[in-house]
Amino acid sequence: MSKRTRKQKDETRLAHAGRDPSRQHGFVNTPIYRGSTVIFPTAAALEANDQDFTYGRLGTPTVRALEEAIAEIEGGHRTLLAPSGLSAIAASLLAFVRAGDEVLVVDSVYRPARRFCDNLLKRLDVTPIYYDPLIAEGIGRLITKKTRVVFTESPGSQTFEVQDLPAISKVAHAAGAVVILDNTWATPLYFKPFAHGADVSIQAATKYIGGHADIMLGSITTTEKTSAAVAKTHEDLGLCVGPEDVYLGLRGLRSLGVRLTHHQKSAFELARWLSERPEVARVIYPALPGDPGHALWKRDFTGASGLFSIVLKPVSHERLAAMLDDLSLFGMGYSWGGFESLILPFDPSDYRTATNWKAEGPALRLHVGLEDVEDLKADLDAGFGRLAARA
């Protein structure tokens, strides 16, 4: 649709992808189309059923605009939208499995995705087998004749292990398995899924694509080869997204580049500052030299987003609560990727099964928002004061 040139930078494409003013009376943006019924002009057209739009659930011009834009930025063949990141994960897994199959799932996977595998997939007689995120080509040892999918998420949720996606994909493809990647952390700007071996790439567009903590949205981007299977399951499940959220997804996408630049800069600055604090045992952020995933991150990624974790030195529950309760800029709550900073305690030791989470003290996940970084430091510095005050 858009007159794109391959050589254009992502930031340029973000401004133009999926957009055609000549189809909208010259207006810059594709408006919000609301609709279920689409009228066919003739009985022959109805019978042929091959016009661009046939029914609201199957897409509107607003939906198509966002799908085209994400597909272009992610470097995929086609994108389909889903009502949440989790539904995008569920649909893409369901697209490839049959009763009796096994799926290999990274141990550091987003926890609700793990629940989907342990509950719904198991009920369908599909067995999830969890693997160490650092397994690389060792994944071959877990592949059997029943392996249909290798599910990856890099870096991992909460603990940010960077996976060797090219190595995993090579082994998976040799065995005929499909590689699905949850690419939410890096976004399509900082990691190109298909250039590194993924067959399907998922975005929780709720996070950075939306960017303003005001929508729920997911996307599934496929290669030419995986596109038909995903499209069929997506249609069978009846997945569609409300027009307002689709529009806000498009709106968020336009500024993804500049927002991420700021998130990255502040996160790096804050991560470095935190790594020198006496209260902090370690910082887990692949962009930091010295992080266990730094070399792989540097090889495969072109940037880091604003989400990372820290492990504190041992401290009581009460002192930690005193720190967290009175933070004024860092909010406590789920999700991330909005303009605002967030902080969240976590402990994955209860639900990881292929790896052991060992931590010196309590762990905190931080999302570094668009606030001034010195103000963020001051907020945390005051928090560390409260952490120590009750000792």
| Nearest-10 Cα torsion for 29, 31, 37, 41 | -60
Active site residue 20: no
Rule CB under 6 A: which residues touch ligand PLP? Answer: 84-86, 110, 153, 157, 182, 184, 204, 206-207, 216, 218, 335
At 285, list the tokens. Answer: 């952020």
Q: Which residue has the tokens 């970084």?
A: 373
Point out the residue whose Cβ comes nearest to ligand PLP: 85
Report the nearest approach of ligand PLP to the CB of residue 207 (Å): 6
Euclidean distance between CA atoms 155 and 197, whole angstroms: 15
Q: What's CA 89's distance to the chain center, in Å?
A: 10
CA end-to-end span of the chain, whole Å? 63
Active site residue 207: yes
> Residue 84 or 187: which CB sits closer to ligand PLP?
84
> Residue 94 or 216: which CB sits closer to ligand PLP?
216
> Residue 113 or 387: which CB sits closer to ligand PLP?
113
**Per the residue annotation, which of 10, 101, 164, 182 is the catalytic one?**
182
Report the nearest approach of ligand PLP to the CB of residue 390 (Å): 32
**Per the residue annotation, which of 4, 57, 141, 265 is the catalytic one?**
57
> Residue 168 or 280: which CB sits closer to ligand PLP?
168
**Per the residue annotation, which of 13, 64, 107, 110 is the catalytic one?**
110
Active site residue 110: yes
Report the nearest approach of ligand PLP to the CB of residue 115 (Å): 12
Q: Could you tell me which residues come within 8 angstroms of residue 64 by beta carbon, excluding any fewer than 6 positions away?
A: 18, 52
**Per the residue annotation, which of 19, 64, 192, 207 is the catalytic one?**
207
Burial (CB < 10 A; 0-12, 13-18, 19+), residue 42, is exposed
Euclidean distance between CA atoms 149 and 11, whole angstroms: 32
Q: Which residues pair with 318 in a beta bridge?
A: none
Active site residue 265: no
Q: How many Cβ atoms sit within 10 Å of the Cβ of residue 204?
A: 27
Report the nearest approach of ligand PLP to the CB of residue 335 (Å): 6
Q: What's CA 373's distance to the chain center, in Å?
A: 24
At 251, list the tokens. Answer: 């709106």
Report the nearest approach of ligand PLP to the CB of residue 322 (Å): 28
> Residue 246 or 280: which CB sits closer to ligand PLP?
246
What is the DSSP secondary-structure string of 81-111? Answer: EESSHHHHHHHHHHTT--TT-EEEEETTS-H
Catalytic residue ranges: 57, 110, 182, 207
